[in-house]
Amino acid sequence: MNFSLTEEQQILQDSAARLVGQSYPFERRQRDVSSATGFDPELWKQFADMGWLAIPFREENGGFGGEATELMLLMEEMGKGLVAVPYLATVLLFGKLVEAGTEGPLRDDLLTRLIAGQLQGSVAYMERQARYTLNDTCTRASQTPTGFRLSGEKTMAFNGPAADKLIVSARTEGGQQDEWGISLFLVDATAPGLELTSYRLMDGQRAAKVLLNDVQVKSGQLVGQENKGAALLQGVINNALPGLCAEALGLMTHLTNTTIEYTKVRKQFAVPISSFQALQHRMVDMFTACEETRSLVYRSVCSADKPDSQEHLRNLHALKVITGRRGKRVGNDAIQLHGGMGITDELDVGHYVKHLMVLNSLFGDADYHQQQLATLSLSV
């Protein structure tokens, strides 16, 4: 049993912490998210230069061969600094789908550019009626002599507005709720018939609604095997969850620390409000919430080498349940203990809370995962 880091991992953590702590003040972040794409290309380049875009890819694909631990370290620091970059959309979803579902020169070309910071991606899977179920897919892919024709609507493609390429899920077979019959397609952002409506999310990142009006794709644009796209996508999402929750943990940690600091300097009734026991207990709860979440992040990182095991799946569901529930408490308490200041846009607290809320509703919220956990644990 060993929860300590290797020297290399320590270096990664330190350099991520340095970037966040020293060259990424909140004002810069606010400027970045108000730009058209919601992030600063310079910062993305910096991520590439640091080798961070390569972390999750296999060495033979030009990657770092990093495991869940490296991702966790990087993303927790990103959370602490509320770093606005499309890491999840481009690297963890788009990039990992490319790695798993394409081959040869296409894969080499895409991953090389992606790792160099020269390619932005987005995965368009979510549909209006689906809520958190991946399988619920109406978008159709009909056979044509040379490939497929895609028609339908995806409501929320993260990083869609900046993406050079998208991976779109569509039904090649099966009924609306079936896992079987969903296929994934690589589509150019400029493909005829593809129409993007860009909008902002509350944490400043950009998403797009994607309309597909008879978009023509060749068979070579199929990502993974025909009809087996849902399982591939689910696997990639599962892979991203520990990192995603580590980022949430970083946000929670920052919220807890800022709140503790604020209550020490804010005086009411001639004393620091940190002297009130009612508030002390709340902050102890916040701290405990972070520790609980960290424990489950570690737990799922430890089982990540057996991605298809029941044990790992249970760990992931538990992680999303606890991160969702505790994250919500930490966010609410952080605002509450700041009083009126917590309601302002000027303070970073509200912005951390909003990003935390987005992360916690990505790929299913706590209630959703609790039901999934019940299915695994209480099947009769």
Ligand X SMILES: Cc1cc2nc3c(=O)[nH]c(=O)nc-3n(C[C@H](O)[C@H](O)[C@H](O)COP(=O)(O)OP(=O)(O)OC[C@H]3O[C@@H](n4cnc5c(N)ncnc54)[C@H](O)[C@@H]3O)c2cc1C
Would you tell me which residues interact with ligand X (CB under 6 A)? 266, 268-269, 273, 276, 278-279, 336-337, 339-340, 343
Q: Which of 232, 322, 362, 373 binds other proteins (CB under 8 A)?
A: 362
Closest residue by Cα to residue 243 from 93, 29, 108: 93
Q: Which of 19, 33, 207, 297 binds other proteins (CB under 8 A)?
A: 207
| Whole-number Cα distances in Å, 125 to 38, 132, 206, 211, 236 | 21, 11, 16, 12, 13
Return the residue nearest ligand X (CB atom): 339
Q: Which is nearer to ligand X, 33 or 337 (CB)?
A: 337
By the 8 A CB rule, do 283 and 329 touch? no
Q: Which of ligand X, other proteins, none does residue 346 bind (CB under 5 to 8 Å by kind)? A: other proteins
Supply the minimum distance, in Å, between the C-beta of residue 242 and ligand X: 33
By the 8 A CB rule, do 121 and 95 touch? yes
Q: Is 34 in the site for other proteins (CB under 8 A)?
A: no
Closest residue by Cα to residue 255 from 360, 377, 177: 360
Q: Which is nearer to other proteins, 70 or 203 (CB)?
A: 203
Q: Is 357 in the site for other proteins (CB under 8 A)?
A: yes
| Whole-number Cα distances in Å, 126 to 161, 211, 233 | 16, 12, 12
Supply the minimum distance, in Å, between the C-beta of residue 349 and ligand X: 12
In Å, how far from its chain's centre is CA 7? 26
Structure tokens at 277: 């026991």
Q: Is 197 in the site for other proteins (CB under 8 A)?
A: yes
Supply the minimum distance, in Å, between the C-beta of residue 29 and ligand X: 24
Q: Is 50 in the site for other proteins (CB under 8 A)?
A: no
By the 8 A CB rule, do 371 and 377 touch? no
Q: Which of 142, 143, 146, 202 binds other proteins (CB under 8 A)?
A: 202
Q: Which of 361, 375, 376, 377 binds other proteins (CB under 8 A)?
A: 361
Q: Which of ligand X, other proteins, none does residue 307 bind (CB under 5 to 8 Å by kind)? A: none
Label the pairing between strands 182-188 and 165-171. Answer: antiparallel
Structure tokens at 241: 């969850």
Structure tokens at 315: 């760990």
Q: Which of 7, 60, 308, 345 binds other proteins (CB under 8 A)?
A: 345
Q: Which of 144, 213, 219, 268 binds other proteins (CB under 8 A)?
A: 268
By the 8 A CB rule, do 81 and 24 touch? yes
Closest residue by Cα to residue 327 from 245, 205, 237: 245
Q: Which is nearer to other proteins, 304 or 349 (CB)?
A: 349
Q: Which is nearer to ligand X, 91 or 255 (CB)?
A: 255
By the 8 A CB rule, do 293 and 326 touch? yes
Q: How far apart are CA 224 and CA 247, in angstroms?
A: 28
Structure tokens at 88: 């999840």
Write out the binding residues for other proteins, residues 99-128 only, by CB under 8 A: 126, 128
Q: Is 32 in the site for other proteins (CB under 8 A)?
A: no
By the 8 A CB rule, do 234 and 182 touch? no
Which parts of this chain interact with other proteins (CB under 8 A)? 126, 128-133, 135-136, 153, 155-156, 176-177, 197-203, 207, 209, 267-270, 273, 276, 278-279, 328, 332, 335-336, 339-340, 342-346, 350, 353-354, 357-358, 361-362, 365, 367-368, 370-371
